[in-house]
Amino acid sequence: MGEGRLTVRKAWVVAGAAVAAGLSFVMLLVVGVYVVAGNLANGVGGGAKALAKGAVPAAYQTLVQKWGNLCPAINPALLAAQLYQESGFNPKAQSPAAAQGIAQFIPGTWATHGIDGDGDGDRDVWDPQDAIPSAASYDCELASYVKDVPGDATKNMLAAYNAGAYAVIKYGGVPPYSETQNYVKTITTLEQSFAAPVGRVDPSEQAAGAIAYAQKKLGTLYLWGGDGTAEDGGRFDCSGLTKAAYESVGVTLPRVANDQYNAGPHPARDELLPGDLVFFSDDLTNSRAIRHVGIYVGGGYMIDAPRTGAVIRFDPIDTPDYFGATRVTEDGAKALPTEV
C-alpha cells in the first residue's frame, strides 16, 4: 500500500510517443493487448528451477535455492511458495494453532522432523537456518513415503503434507478431499510466481479491462489508504488503484503491493505487456520491501497513483527503483493467502 525498451510491438513505440494524447494512447494499447495475446498464446515455457528476481528476501534466497533442490519432488520455487503461504517469510510468525516460525511447524512435528540445518548443534524452529532446511527435508520425507503412488510426485507430496501419506496411498494419488485438492492447486500455482520464467508468459485476458478502469481514474487525487469508495471520495493510493482495476474484471488481488507481486509470473522488462503490474522498491533484493505499484500501458509508461498531493497519471517506469513486474492471472490471485 506504499507511495510512491523494447515495447511489445514496434507499433506500440509509436503509441508510446503519444502519451500526451491520453485517451487515444490508451485505446491503442488496449487493442494491442489482444493483438499480442493472439501472437503469444503458445509462447510459454515451464519447468523453471531458478527463483524469480527478489521473490525471496535476500537473507533466505541462498537457503531456499540450495535446499529447494534436496529431492526431485521439490524445487526452490515450490519451497518458496510454501514458506510464503505459511508465514510470508516471517521468522517470528506464530499461529493460533501454535505453528511456529518461517515454516510454521507445530511443536510435535518439529520434534520429529526438525533438523540442525546450519550445523551449530541445536534445532531452533525460530531460526530460518534450521527451519527452511527442515521444511525441505520434511517435504522429501513425505515424497519418499508416497514414491510408489502413481501420478505426479510433487502433487502427491503436497497432498501427503496436507492429508497424510496414508490417504495418498489409499486413494492412489491426491485424495478426493476438497481441502487437500485446493492446497495442492494453491501451492503449485504460487510456485509459478516464485519461479524465473524460462520463456514468454501468457498475456492476461483481463489486462485490457484493468487498463480501461485505470484510465477512467486519470486526474483523481491520491489518498493514502484509499480504495476508491464513497467514503474515500473515489480516491486511491497505488495498490488501491491496481486492486480496484483488476477487481473490475473479476480478479481479486491482495490489498498491499508486495503481496500483489505474487499474483502471477514475472515477465522481463523487455517482455512487458499492457496490463502487467509494475513494482518499485528501495531494496531490489526483496519483494517484501516493495513500496509502489502501477499498471503498465506500454511505451515505457504506467498509470499509477503516485503520492500525496499528486493525481493518478501516466509515469515512466524506467527509474532506478524499478523492481520488476507481474502478469496477473486469475489462479495466481486466488492462490494468494488472505494474510501473510
Under a CB-based contact definition with an 8 Å cutoff, are residues 304 and 315 in contact?
A: yes
- Between CA 146 and CA 243 the distance in angstroms is 40
Largest pairwise CA distance in the chain? 65
Q: Smallest Cα–Cα separation from 6: which of 200, 140, 153?
A: 200
- Between CA 267 and CA 272 the distance in angstroms is 6
> What's the pLDDT score for residue 200?
81
- Between CA 216 and CA 79 the distance in angstroms is 40
**Residue 97 confidence class, pLDDT cut points 50, 70, 90:** confident
The cell numbers describing 176, all together, are: 478426493
Q: Which residue has the cell 515450490?
A: 78
Q: Residue 303 — φ and ψ, nearest 5°?
A: -100, 130
> What's the pLDDT score for residue 40?
32
Q: What is the pLDDT of residues 251-296, one digit of tens each?
A: 999 999 999 999 999 999 999 999 999 999 999 999 999 999 999 9
The cell numbers describing 117, all together, are: 540445518
**Residue 243 confidence class, pLDDT cut points 50, 70, 90:** very high
**Residue 48 confidence class, pLDDT cut points 50, 70, 90:** very low
Q: Which residues pair with 119 in a beta bridge?
A: none
> What's the pLDDT score for residue 158?
97
Under a CB-based contact definition with an 8 Å cutoff, are residues 263 and 332 in contact?
A: yes
- Between CA 313 and CA 294 the distance in angstroms is 10
Q: Which residue has the cell 499480442?
A: 36
Q: What is the pLDDT of residues 155-166, one digit of tens each?
A: 999 999 999 999
Q: Which residue has the cell 517506469?
A: 317
